[in-house]
Amino acid sequence: MNNKEKVIQLLINEFNSSNSNPIQIDRNDIGVLQIPEKEIIKILNTLHEDGLIIAKPRSPHKDFSLYWEITIKTECLEYFNNKKHAKTTNRRDWIRTYVPITLSVASIIISIIALIIAA
């Protein structure tokens, strides 16, 4: 699990434990991640830009000296389900593409062998 996914999992866990939206994240909450604060801030900003959350830092310095108020959108809550679905879809597309190609190549090889034997 990469750092972005760790932050998303933290947000989902906080949402599930508080059952409120928006949630509040502070230094105590992010301490369990063992990720530098600056990187967490970048990740939160990226998630905000991607439309998964609405992040509002309460500190004027946009750090964790005060808490962050984060509104979690449905896309964020469904992040891991969507990721799993995309992986399954990619696997199906791969099968749909490469099984017919493999069968076609095998048919061509059998036809060439049949022509060689017949000659």
The string of pLDDT tens digits covering residues 70-102 is 999 999 999 999 999 999 999 999 999 999 999
Measure the CA–CA gap between 26 and 51, rounded to whole angstroms: 21
pLDDT band at 45 (very low <50, low <70, confident <90, very high): very high
Backbone angles phi, psi at 61, to 5 degrees: -90, 0
Give the integer Cα–Cα distance in Å for 95 and 88.
11
- Confidence at 107, pLDDT banded by 50, 70, 90: very high
Cα–Cα separations (whole angstroms), residue 69 to 6, 12, 55: 18, 14, 6
Distance CA 5, CA 94 (A): 25
